[in-house]
Chain A
Amino acid sequence: MELLERYLQAVKFWLPKKQQDDILAELKEDIESEMEEMESGLGRKMTGSEMEALLKRRGRPMMVAMRFQPKRFLIGPGLFPMYIFVLKVAVLCYLVPWALAGLVLLLFGGSRPVGEVVGGLWGSLWVTLAFQFSIITLVFAALEQTHSKSGFQENWNPGALPRVRPPRDPYRVARTGSLVEIVMSLIFLAWWIRMPQGFPFAWGLDKAGIHWTWGSVWQDFHHHFFYLVIALTLINVCVAVVNLIRPYWTRPTLLIRGTINAGVAAMAYFVVRAHWPEMKSEWILLTGIHPALAQAELLSRWVNLSVYSALAISTVVAGIQALVEYIRAILWKNSGSKLKAAAALFLVAASLGASCTKAMPTQGTNWSTANSAQLAKTALPALTGGAALCVLRDFEITFTLGMHESWRVNLEFQPDCEAHGVLGGLLSGLNRTI
């Protein structure tokens, strides 16, 4: 009986105060009735282990108590899908900028050890995510209490539902996007070429007698990468024109676009890396709100810092874009083996990483033409190799040997291999020679 009393005491703990005595009395009576029936069947008193088995079958005290209470939700099924949606959006809105900031710090963090940077970022991530989760959960818990009275579930208009969206083709390029890209690239090109002479929108400043000059970052960038930027922009315009005429990504256009973005990322990386100490000192000066700084100087310093930051973020964004475009080109419409694709991507990434590290100027020094040459010498073969691997994985070489067959090389092409024409011609020549 002592075990029964202990069980009832445990159930009591989870019951609402007002109903405790009533529920426990009924529960006790029910258990005693069952014991009585069992004992009369056995012809003896129940043993301790038989009693334990009986109570175990009835369930954990908390669960028994919970069944006597109405179903309650912190966030009920009506609001739960929206709650999950908001949580996902909030996490994405935080994770993307967090990942970008993290990459910038990792790339340009300088003397700070990688472990320290990652540890700091990791800590801030969890604190912020926990804070977001708590706030959103609290808001939805409050809504749960009020939305049933507000008529939220009943007051809706079927006519206001969004139109059915056509299935999205991930390889389709919007023509308006290509058009905007062409126009913007040409405007940028005109500005880039004219940059040393001035900036069209700054005429007003000149007229007002405000003296201004290009910051050291821009001057450095312009000086070292003038022709490379023109070349990349022109190639980009060509890709956009092709996309305008034939609005679908193809493997070559994806590879070219990936290479353009990789080039942009590399240029921005080297400039920011070389000017990182400058950026840090600007940041320290501005966040300290130095009283000695005049309004104009303060403004110019903020502009400089914004340019640094924009370039740092561009490095990461362009790098990610390049990676995505290479992956899409390699995994072209799911053709071929993913293992080969992964191997190709790894080789390209490893070669690029190694070449960039080798070409990188030491911290605090400016980017020089020697660095450009070094980068071109090492990065271009990596990119070309990557592109070749992307194409090569579309076919497999098999050698056919037989009594009635001469030595012959057969290439089995995937249906959408762009290399078919060129390699087919080469193969035909090779077989004729054999």
Chain B
Amino acid sequence: MAIDSNSFENLRLELRRGSLVLAVLAQLRTEQYGYTLRKALAEHGMEIDEGTLYPLLRRLETQGLLVSEWREEEKRNKRFYKLSADGKLILKQLLAEWKSIDSSLNGIVKG
């Protein structure tokens, strides 16, 4: 049976979706605004489009994991995000979980 050309892309996006939250939280250990955050993630090979990033930032802020403030920089108003205290705790737990998954997967893949 021929594999649908979209199948890999859909599975890849599904695989990345969970990791994006971790990448965003980790990147926001230092304060950044949306556009620079996007660029920084892309430089690390985690490209994320603005249509995904901004709703995700809002969701994480509503959950109390991020804090944000509007500030003027280079004559333009920008919204800066950074990890909250709760966000730091959750990031630590998520990183531990990530390492555990990584180790389990390595074991499974190597057989």
Contacts and interface: CB of A to CB of B under 8 A. Distances in A.
Question: Are both chains from one complex?
Answer: yes
Interface of A: 23, 25-27, 29-30, 32-34, 58-59, 63-64, 67-68
A30 B34 contact: yes
Nearest to A63: B51
A219 B78 CA distance: 94
Contacts of A63: 51
A50 to B, nearest CB: 18
Contacts of A58: 50-51
Interface of B: 33-35, 38, 50-52, 54-55, 58, 70, 76-79
B33 A67 contact: no
Given A30-B34, A34-B35, A68 B55 contact: yes
A25 B34 CA distance: 12
Choose among B50, B54, B70, B78 the residue with the greatest number of A CB atoms under 10 Å from its CB.
Answer: B50
A29 B55 contact: no
Contacts of B38: 30
B51 A29 contact: no
B76 A68 contact: no
B32 to A, nearest CB: 12
A30 B50 contact: yes
Contacts of A26: 34, 54, 79
A27 B79 contact: no
A59 B35 contact: no
A64 B33 CA distance: 19
Contacts of B58: 68
Nearest to A69: B55
Contact of A25 (B35, B52, B55, B77): B77
A29 B79 CA distance: 9
B76 A64 contact: no
B54 A32 contact: no
